[in-house]
Amino acid sequence: MDLLVVGSGFFGLTIAERAAAAGKKVVVIDRRSHIGGNAYSQAEPETGIEVHTYGAHLFHTSNETVWEYVNRFTSFTGYVHKVYSNFKGEVYPLPINLGTINQFFRASHGPDAARALIAEQAEEFDTKEAKNLEEKGISLIGRPLYEAFIRDYTSKQWQTPTTELPAEIISRLPVRYTYDNRYFSDKYEGLPVDGYTAWIEKMADHPNIEVRLNTDFFDESQPLNKKDVVGKVPVVYTGPVDRYFDYAEGELGWRTLDFEQEVLPTGDFQGTSVMNYAGADVPYTRIHEFRHFHPERDYPTDKTVIMREFSRFATREDEPYYPVNTPEDRERLLKYRALTDGETGVYFGGRLGTYQYLDMHMAIGSALSMYNNKLEGTL
């Protein structure tokens, strides 16, 4: 074995695929019973509808290198993601755009009038100086829209007051003065034609890659554990960074999700793939309806699969999904970075290994960079 990869998400699989293609023998371990990390999906048995087991995954990127790379393993549909938000029983288009603004204010403003209105409502804070998510939100869209669509949704999702969350979280959400309600602004977007699992399996399908599932890196009763391997074989570690060091610097804050899945006896429940629920009175953040991700597929017309998403803080026993990133977390992370720098022969990557809110294309892009810059010459 030339390399051990801990974690078979997109970061780990990209590293494994590159190393295997260069003739290196790679073992990939994962503590779960399947590969693919959080991007894994399965056909729901009663309907055959592809369900993203760990929450809806939409692929989008403007990175040419990543786009060329992923197209080696799958082709993509022309799916364009759109999201709507239910606020006080009325449905509005997201991200906030001219349609949302005019519906909310019962107006018919053109772009200039809408800009002037929002600029006036956003005067309280300057975007460049926004110190937290609340200030940034108000500076971008003004207080009324912020309070309707962002404040309670975000508090529900992050279980943290918006004044303690980093401003960057909503940099992901653009504000548009047109009626364009594409959720993402990237050059390329789509869903894998044969599903995520077919894509993921193709990445791992190489004679130089051996995958061992149900194998935890910290379980000393199995041969490829941390104690026995580190220092002997190069390791790419994509699990939680705090867990690697046995929480020596304290626990980093993570958010986990609970999903409530249901098969309903109707061909269409909500008419779209994702409906957000903006208010604090509804306990879930959104409802996914998976059939709408693949309108091109021949799914049953009398049944549909929906999934309600609930958010809460992760304990050590939960799957850590999103880094919360409070100021204390960031301080702790610096201490963990110092520890990772001293861990010779171990390369920390991915969403959990670097405590970063990475999308799939970012995880793949950073794995390609790590392979090219750090591993290629040393393996």
* C-alpha 108: how far from chain center: 35
Task: Give the one entry of ligand FAD, ligand UDP, none that residue 6 binds, where binding means its C-beta sits below a cut-off of 5 to 8 angstroms depending on kind.
Answer: ligand FAD
Told to judge if 31 belongs to the known catalytic residues of this protein, a careful annotator would answer no
CA distance 297 to 152: 36
x-or-dash string of contact with ligand FAD, 314-353, rule CB under 6 A:
-------x----------------------------xxx-
Binding of residue 360 to ligand FAD (CB under 6 A): yes
Angle between helices 196-204 and 10-21 (to 10 degrees): 40
Give the total residue count for the chain: 379
Instruction: Tell which one of 93, 95, 192, 239 touches ligand FAD (CB under 6 A).
Output: 239
Show the tokens assigned to 378: 């040393």
Residue owning tokens 């880094």:
323
Residues lying near ligand UDP in the complex (CB under 6 A) are found at: 85, 94, 149-150, 153-154, 157, 169-170, 172-173, 276, 278
The CB-of-312 to ligand UDP minimum distance in angstroms stands at 14
Query: Which phi-psi region, left, alpha or beta, contains residue 89 (left: φ > 0; alpha: ψ -120 to 50)?
Result: left
Told to judge if 286 belongs to the known catalytic residues of this protein, a careful annotator would answer yes
* Segment interacting with ligand FAD (CB under 6 A) among 5-13, 273-281, 285-293, 370-378: 5-13
Inter-CA distances, 161 with 88, 214, 326, 363, Å: 21, 37, 10, 28
* Segment interacting with ligand FAD (CB under 6 A) among 104-112, 163-171, 194-202, 357-365: 357-365
The CB-of-88 to ligand UDP minimum distance in angstroms stands at 14
The CB-of-160 to ligand UDP minimum distance in angstroms stands at 10
Instruction: Tell which one of 12, 137, 142, 323 touches ligand FAD (CB under 6 A).
Output: 12
**Single-letter residue type at 118:** I
Told to judge if 359 belongs to the known catalytic residues of this protein, a careful annotator would answer yes
> Of residues 18, 176, 332, 351, which has the active-site annotation?
176
Told to judge if 153 belongs to the known catalytic residues of this protein, a careful annotator would answer no
Query: Which phi-psi region, left, alpha or beta, contains residue 318 (left: φ > 0; alpha: ψ -120 to 50)?
Result: beta
* C-alpha 49: how far from chain center: 21
Strand 209-212: give its sheet, edge to edge. Answer: 209-212, 26-29, 3-6, 235-237, 346-348
x-or-dash string of contact with ligand FAD, 282-321, rule CB under 6 A:
---------------------------------------x
Give which of 153, 160, 163 is closest to 280, Cα–Cα.
153
* C-alpha 299: how far from chain center: 26
Catalytic residues: 172, 176, 255, 286, 309, 357, 359
